[in-house]
Amino acid sequence: MTIILAIETSCDETSVAVVDNQTILSNIIWSQASQHAEFGGVFPSLAQRLHREHIDWVIKKALGTSKKELEDINAVAVTVGPGLAIALEVGISKAKELCKKYNKSLIPVNHIEAHILSPLAVAKNQEPKSNYNQLFPALGIVTSGGHTEIILMKSIGSYEILATTLDDALGESLDKAARLLGLGYPGGAVLEKLARSGNPKNITLPIPMLGRENDLRFSYSGLKTAFFKKLSEFPRLTPQETADLASSYQNTAFLHFIRIFEKTLQSEKCSNVKHVFAGGGVMANILLRKMIRNTCNKHNISISFPYSRKLYGDNAGMIGVVAYFKYLKSEFLKPNEFDSVERIPRAKVDQKF
């Protein structure tokens, strides 16, 4: 039994979790999204201030919910990147403070690794997946507000980025389209709801990178421009036209994702891939999950998603799961060793720290 307290402050969610091995005992998320909405995106200094104001309360709540005390924990885990520098700082300094005060080990965690391992989190009433080693080599796919990546996972902790985006991330792209439709921020979930009553066939948008899929690159900025042009053709939008536009945008953005995903699956490096781990905020989208599942079925590859909605977007539960695997390999630091631990705002998933 390894009890880890995990802290996540990389963007606009202040989150703290307590995990017992892979089992999530508590996963508290205090979302700042509504405070950033008026800026149409995350405002870094506001994020930092709100993290500072709420972190102690979120830690208390996570410990209380898990019925654990700080004395019971083996280590404190914290996201060191990628993310907003001044937001990451809040979690890192709090983690160091707790480790020093209670003489605990510190485990620095990469946020993207946490998204791709989030399907390995286990609920309190579930049996842990003890045979997970058989699932490798695997592919990790992350679709979030800041990242769209396909990662070859040779084993836990050994990664190679196979496909990434040239410009916007998938979630960012959905957020921009939602904003153009006046749906507010963040817009992915609202766009999904609206798209359900629309018909994607009524409005045609260009699928990005057509014929260039072998480059294994995503690109969403051209689609946004095409959408903007399409919108300007409508002097006034009826509710049905708005829904059709939402549906067409979402569908085209996902089709592009799938085309690159499929090319990656067929590439030489993936010939031994047995499983796909999928995570990140946009994976909460039912249509996207269905399209990914169908692609995996077609190629006879198994797939797993996180067990609850809470584990898709940013949350500390997934940070705790990565930390558990690191703890097993003794990848933790003692209080006299961790002054070197710093924020890494542009950390890559294959980067060692």
Residue 266 and residue 257: Cα distance in Å, rounded? 14
Residue 246 and residue 188: Cα distance in Å, rounded? 10
CB of 100 to ligand KG4, least distance (A): 29
Between β-strands 302-304 and 158-165, what pairing exists: parallel, antiparallel or unpaired? unpaired
Q: For the chain, how long is the longest CA-to-CA vector?
A: 65
CB of 118 to Zn ion, least distance (A): 10
Residue 89 and residue 260: Cα distance in Å, rounded? 35
Residue among 3 and 121 whose Cβ is closer to Zn ion: 121
Residues 25-44 that bind Zn ion (CB under 5 A): none
CB of 335 to ligand KG4, least distance (A): 29
Picking from 85, 76, 82, 83, the residue whose alpha carbon sits closest to that of residue 107 is 76
Q: Among ligand KG4, Zn ion, none, what binds residue 175 when CB lies within 5 to 8 Å by partner kind?
A: ligand KG4
Residue among 81 and 338 whose Cβ is closer to ligand KG4: 81
Residue among 81 and 187 whose Cβ is closer to ligand KG4: 187
Q: What are the CA-CA distances from residue 48 to residues 83, 90, 146, 318 (Å)?
A: 12, 7, 18, 21
Residue among 278 and 296 whose Cβ is closer to ligand KG4: 278
CB of 169 to ligand KG4, least distance (A): 7
Picking from 169, 13, 11, 8, the residue whose alpha carbon sits closest to that of residue 86 is 11
Residue among 26 and 173 whose Cβ is closer to ligand KG4: 173
Q: Does 144 bind Zn ion (CB under 5 A)?
A: yes
Residues 109-138 that bind Zn ion (CB under 5 A): none
Residue among 149 and 172 whose Cβ is closer to ligand KG4: 172
Q: Among ligand KG4, Zn ion, none, what binds residue 187 when CB lies within 5 to 8 Å by partner kind?
A: ligand KG4
Q: Among ligand KG4, Zn ion, none, what binds residue 188 when CB lies within 5 to 8 Å by partner kind?
A: ligand KG4
Residue 217 and residue 148: Cα distance in Å, rounded? 10
Picking from 132, 4, 113, 14, the residue whose alpha carbon sits closest to that of residue 68 is 4
CB of 186 to ligand KG4, least distance (A): 4
Q: Does 143 bind Zn ion (CB under 5 A)?
A: no
Residue 224 and residue 228: Cα distance in Å, rounded? 6
Residue 52 and residue 32: Cα distance in Å, rounded? 12
CB of 218 to ligand KG4, least distance (A): 14
Q: Among Zn ion, ligand KG4, none, what binds residue 171 when CB lies within 5 to 8 Å by partner kind?
A: ligand KG4
Residues 6+ apart with CB under 8 A from 101: none
CA dihedral 297, 136, 7, 21 (to 10 degrees): 110
CB of 213 to ligand KG4, least distance (A): 22
Q: Among ligand KG4, Zn ion, none, what binds residue 186 when CB lies within 5 to 8 Å by partner kind?
A: ligand KG4
Residue among 20 and 89 whose Cβ is closer to Zn ion: 89
Residue 287-326 contact track with Zn ion, rule CB under 5 A, x = bound: ---------------------------x------------
CB of 242 to ligand KG4, least distance (A): 17
| Long-range interactions of 298-301: CB distance < 8 A, separation 24+ | 299/262, 299/265, 299/266, 301/139, 301/265, 301/273, 301/274, 301/275, 301/276
Residue among 20 and 314 whose Cβ is closer to Zn ion: 314
Query: How does DSSP assign 277-319, residue by residue?
Result: EEESGGGG-HHHHHHHHHHHHHTT-EEE--SSGGGTSS-HHHH
Residue among 101 and 193 whose Cβ is closer to ligand KG4: 193
- Expressed in angstroms, the distance from the first to the final Cα of the chain is 25
Q: Among ligand KG4, Zn ion, none, what binds residue 82 when CB lies within 5 to 8 Å by partner kind?
A: none
Q: Where on the chain is the footprint of ligand KG4 (CB under 6 A)?
A: 11, 144-146, 171-172, 174-175, 186-189, 192, 280-282, 284-285, 313-314
Between β-strands 148-155 and 158-165, what pairing exists: parallel, antiparallel or unpaired? antiparallel
**Which residues are at the interface with Zn ion (CB under 5 A)?**
144, 314
